[in-house]
Chains A and B, each alone.
Chain A
Amino acid sequence: MKRTGAQIVWEALIREGVTTVFGHPGGAILPVYDAMPQYPVRHILARHEQGAGHMADGYARVTGDVGVALATSGPAATNLVTALATAMMDSVPIVAITGQVPTTLLGNDAFQETDVTGVTQAVTKHNYLVTDIDDLARIMKEAFHIARTGRPGPVLVDICKDVLNDETEFAYPEEVDLPGYHPYFGLDEQAVEAAAELINNAHRPVIIAGHGVQMAHAENELRELAERAHIPVAMTLLGLGDIPETHPLSLGMCGMHGEARANKAIQESDVLIGIGMRFDDRVTGDLDAFAPNAKIIHIEFDPAEINKNVPADVAVLGDAKEALQALMGKVKPAQHKNWMAQIEEWNRESQELDILNAEVDELIPPMVMRELWHVTEGDAIVVSDVGQHQMWEAQYFLHERPRQLLTSGGLGTMGYALPAAIGAHYAAPDETVWAVVGDGGFQMTIQELGVLMQERVPVKIAIINNGFLGMVRQWQELFYEKNYAGTPIQSPDYVKLAEAYGIPARRVTDRKDVTAALREAQEHDGPFLIEFQVKEEVNVYPMVAPGEAIDNLLRRRIVQGPSGLQPAW
């Protein structure tokens, strides 16, 4: 059957199971939009292509399958770059399709021409420029294959406008032929043996579970192994929910703003098992002082991550699920009573320093996050932006399951939360989706409120308004003598703004109104916005200063006040 290039794009998307695309039209991609009504897909009009990219990202993180973004050439494609880089860092499968000037004009500085494959080379897993319609079907097939297999990632397909208008005989390839692409080799069984041996002889074992556990759908296997061998589980920011944070073996998050018990346990461990995580510098702190007495087992899919930051004593190259299943048969049941007692002791110390256990009258973000957990009964998808509120969400919302928290970890992209939450809604329409944002990051992609308006997307927004680019202010307070240069930030009247978009909204300034407002939003059928005007200069603790060992923790000072323990802010 004869098809135009534009139709081939849709034929391919349909065959790859795509039902929803996020995009913004323009001249070079217009043939694709022109053909769109012929196909059973839903198009969500983002207000900015970065938004379209993050929506595809949120969609992909929830479904575990590819999210699709469409954009036109030049400025539209460059607007996508931040979203692609975000997805690349966190291994999120996206296929981005951009229109390009006609092949006859390529290289001429034509109107809205940008070398998009050149610009996106470093922020995609792979990319293509399509100049011949007879390559298009194959390239679409390869793009999806590369995005979703192995270590997932974003793939961009840039298609010249004349290719979209040309016609050819269409056949979708069944197989891909990519001789240089070998996403998976199978499990290294010998290494599993060696890993089991180490675990069976451990006295102070710790697991650090990461994002790869979620990508492998290995949460059940992780839990079984941890319970069988009695191993406490710390999680990376992107691994939160790998094991329920309410589970007795959960240590919560580790790293720069991790729980003291998690960081101390890692430092004191004799066997440390990293599973589907890449020993990011926010996790390890000073590498020379990291887990000094531990034998390291690294279970990891991507060979390049092994020995990249932390040399592995036993490297188990393979899929986390397969590796954990294989380990189950070889690991002996164990009890580590003394070790767990030591961890419980660290935990008790932390509770005394926890701001939620101190006498505080002001409205503070940790309390809002804990209330959000109560009101949602822990059953919601939470999408956090980047900054202090992101860390408080990580610390005070107790994540129960994988893919429940979406956040930009590796790139730390402010403006991620609102659009990603929209994508998450389309991936899981029956779930409540909360976007937790700062006053700074919200103002970076605030225009996507237009999508909530136009599509009645029932995303709930909690703005933590502290009048500052808070995380940067915290660094200025701690490392730059409180020189708050460039960090105070004003906000518009968010309640009025929401009204302008037809979105109901509340402003909360008092602790006692937090629960009611959250409940109202949670129960409201449709989008809802709450602005929490919180105490301004609150820091995220514990904190490991950059380059320090992860058990060298800065803590909040708590002092005796007239009616009990109080934070010395």
Chain B
Amino acid sequence: MTHDPSTFNKHTIIAWLEDKPGVLSRVLSLFRRRNFNIENLSVGHSETPGVSRLTFTVNGDDQMVEQAIKQLYKLVNVLRVEDVTEKPAVRREMALIRVKVDAKTRPEVMQLVDIYRASIIDVSMDSLVVQAVGHESRLDSLIDLLSNFPITEMVRTGPVAMTRGAAGKNGNGKHARRMAL
């Protein structure tokens, strides 16, 4: 099948993985060898012991995203995969940003931090460390502004997501899987 980049969309996908040795390596190796275009990814514990939760963003057309989900399901340790792009969901990312400041720019930075409801978690004579949590577009714009001071160090976690309301539970993998196919 030929793929036209002008039809590509970003999809946010959550995968629940059994917490077994090598699982993340299997997932990453799959993304690489199937040539899936992964923009970011983050992984951590879920509410269930032994189950970790992976959130990632894939860029592609519908067929490519369908393939990514189906191929993930073929990994024995993948319990469930959900594309939350079209669902009401909250997405949040965290960033730590070290900004170079002097006596004159420090108040300006602090003002920006205030506006963005971020916080300052470390202070020294010539720098500040800003902690920001929010939708990634909001982080983008904060980072854009802070880069004028300039930024000397930064780390972003990559977004995590959760659907709104009572939905979302990693219990019934089989049902979710059938629906996805």
Interface set of A (CB-CB < 8 Å, partner B)? 117-118, 121-122, 125-126, 129, 146, 178-182, 185, 287-288, 302-304, 307-311, 317
CB atoms of A121 and B76 under 8 A apart: no
- Is residue B79 contacting chain A, with contact meaning CB distance below 8 A? yes
Give chain B residues whose Cβ lies under 8 Å from the Cβ of A288.
Answer: 2
CB atoms of A179 and B2 under 8 A apart: no
* Residue from A118, A179, A288, A309 whose CB has the most chain B CB atoms within 10 Å: A179
CB distance from A309 to the nearest CB of B (A): 6
Within 8 Å by CB of A304, from B22, B26, B74, B76, lies B74
A-B contact pairs, 23 of them (CB 8 A): A121-B25, A121-B26, A122-B29, A125-B76, A129-B21, A129-B22, A178-B76, A179-B18, A179-B79, A180-B77, A180-B78, A180-B173, A182-B173, A182-B177, A185-B178, A302-B74, A303-B181, A304-B71, A304-B73, A307-B66, A308-B1, A308-B67, A311-B63
Q: How far is the CA of A304 from the CA of B78 in the complex (A)?
A: 15
Give chain B residues whose Cβ lies under 8 Å from the Cβ of A117.
Answer: 22
Give chain A residues whose Cβ lies under 8 Å from the Cβ of B71.
Answer: 304
Give chain B residues whose Cβ lies under 8 Å from the Cβ of A303.
Answer: 70, 73, 181
CB distance from A402 to the nearest CB of B (A): 25
Give the bracket for the number of chain B residues in contact with chain A: 20 to 34
Q: How far is the CA of A96 from the CA of B26 in the complex (A)?
A: 19
Give chain A residues whose Cβ lies under 8 Å from the Cβ of B17.
Answer: 180
- In the complex, given contacts A129-B21, A180-B75, what are 10 additional A-B residue pairs having Cβ atoms less than 8 angstroms apart? A118-B25, A121-B22, A121-B25, A126-B76, A178-B76, A180-B17, A180-B76, A180-B173, A304-B67, A304-B70
Q: For residues 69 through 94 of chain B, which have their beta carbon under 8 Å from a beta carbon of chain A? A: 70-71, 73-79
CB atoms of B76 and A146 under 8 A apart: yes
Interface set of B (CB-CB < 8 Å, partner A)? 1-2, 17-18, 21-22, 25-26, 29, 33, 63, 66-67, 70-71, 73-79, 173-174, 177-178, 181
Closest B residue to A310 by beta carbon equals B1
Q: How far is the CA of A287 from the CA of B17 in the complex (A)?
A: 35
Give chain A residues whose Cβ lies under 8 Å from the Cβ of B29.
Answer: 121-122
CB atoms of A287 and B76 under 8 A apart: no
Give chain A residues whose Cβ lies under 8 Å from the Cβ of B181.
Answer: 185, 303, 317
CB atoms of A287 and B18 under 8 A apart: no
CB atoms of B26 and A309 under 8 A apart: no
CB atoms of B174 and A287 under 8 A apart: no
Given contacts A129-B21, A180-B78, contact A307 B73 (CB under 8 A): no
CB atoms of A180 and B2 under 8 A apart: no
Give chain A residues whose Cβ lies under 8 Å from the Cβ of B63.
Answer: 307, 311
Give chain A residues whose Cβ lies under 8 Å from the Cβ of B21.
Answer: 129
Q: How far is the CA of A310 from the CA of B2 in the complex (A)?
A: 11
CB distance from A187 to the nearest CB of B (A): 13
Q: How far is the CA of A302 from the CA of B71 in the complex (A)?
A: 10
Closest A residue to B29 by beta carbon equals A121
Give chain A residues whose Cβ lies under 8 Å from the Cβ of B26.
Answer: 121
Q: How far is the CA of A45 from the CA of B77 in the complex (A)?
A: 34
Q: How far is the CA of A310 from the CA of B1 in the complex (A)?
A: 7
